[in-house]
Each structure stands twice: as structure tokens, then as C-alpha cells.
Structure 1
Amino acid sequence: MTIATASDQVPTDNHASPKPQGRADSYSRPLRSIPDTSTDADSYSGATPPGPDLTAREIEVLLTWLRVGTKAAAGRTLFIGTATVKSHLTRIRQKYMAVGRPAASKSALFIRAVQDGYIDITEWDDVGLTDPDITED
């Protein structure tokens, strides 16, 4: 762990007072802990940390919701209520949080699904590129 000291700080204004002469000890006191971001090659492989243990149904609900766009549309597609879709998504988010990989937004859940291999990004090239209500002449 690296400890920052007052001498490591950069003044934020142009009127910062200079270091007092003869009082260097007051500038070497620890201010706050800075997490050590260095890693050992043995402890970090560079891969995504393990994901949560999602059930097959949770994966199905997640992927359907991501594909169709709304919880209501996902519910209609899966023949379940919107509240049930919300419950599944809440549980999925809780499971991601429990393994230290929060996913609070829809885009974050999409990223997690890609990272964990639930989504092959090449299969999503048509999503959102065309408006089904607009016809070509």
C-alpha cells in the first residue's frame, strides 16, 4: 500500500502558501491510503473475474430483455409478467454485486453478459440499426 503525504499533493490554486522552512516533518505525515494497484503475475491472469452463478432462466430473461428492449416486451415474449422480469433482473444484479462486479445499468449488464460469454457480440449487429416502423422506398 502506498501512503500519500502532503508533499505529494499539487496545489489547486495559485495562492498556495509555500512550505515553511524548518517544519518539513509536518509535510511528511500520512494523509490517506492509496490502494496499491500493482499486481503479481501469479495472482492476476488479466482475465475477467469469475461471474455469478446465474440460472438458465435468469440468463434467458436477461438476454430477452436486452434483445427486445423493455421489461414489458421481455415479459410478453417469455409469457411472464413485467414484475417477474424485474425480479429476475434484481436477482441478477444482486448476484453480480456479490462477486464484486456491479452492473447497475442496462448497458453494464450487457457488458457483463458479453464478458461472461452469454452474448456473442457478432450476433448483435442488427440491433438498433433499423427502425421497424420506417419502410424503405
Structure 2
Amino acid sequence: RTFNVQITVEASDDGAEEKSYVVTVDDITDLVQAQRSSAWADVARRIAHEIKNPLTPIQLSAERIKRRYGKVITEDREVFDQCTDTIIRQVEDIGRMVDEFSAFARMPKPEMKALDLRESLREASFLVEVSRSDITFERVFGNE
């Protein structure tokens, strides 16, 4: 767990040596984890972008070499075809892996579903009401 602890010291107004202390402890574990996840997602996006940048020119060059020189090469033609096909296939495989890596970095798509707003308001106001017994709450919802 990660906690943020703050201590505030107040001297008394009458000049006495008495001091008041206010100590606040906030559990920021979820916040730190969210920041860490966001940072890793950003790193993943950047890495994916940098890897993908040279892939298209590499693939286009291999295809162009195969088209242009494939007819001219008579000796070791099979090796030439195998090598250019390997380059093209491997570039496509890397491209797919980068796409999957990029998908990991993206936030999941929101899941839209209908909810009862009155129930959400009841839950939220109940939590406040429980924590503030000095306040009387009156809830009025339409269509009930």
C-alpha cells in the first residue's frame, strides 16, 4: 500500500508553547497504480509507433526488389524468392505483433448499458447520509 502522510502544526493564538497537530493519512495506492498503468500504456504506444515506422518501407522495398530483379536473376532464383518472401512475411508478422502490443496500450472500449439513475442517486445520498448523521435528507424522485 502507498500512503500520503501530511502533518500540519499550528501554534496557539495566545502565544503559549502549546501546539496543535493535524495528521492526515491518504491511501493513494490506487492513484499510484493508475499513474503507473498510464505511463506503461504511453511507453507501449511509443514503442509500437517506433517499431512500426520502418516496417512499411522495408516491406515495400522487399516487394520492389522481388518484382524488379526476380525476372533478371537466373542463378539461385529459388534462394532469392525464398529470401524476399521471408522478409515480407516477417515484416507482416512484426506488424501484427505491434498491432497487438498497441491494442494492449489502449484503454478498453467503454461498455454502455442502461442504469437506473434513481438507484444511483439513492446509493450516493445514502453514503453521504450515513457519514453525516447531523443532516436530515429528503429524497424525492419523479415517477415513483
TM-score (norm 2): 0.23
TM-score (norm 1): 0.24
Q: Which has the higher helix share?
A: 2
Q: Which has the higher strand share?
A: 2
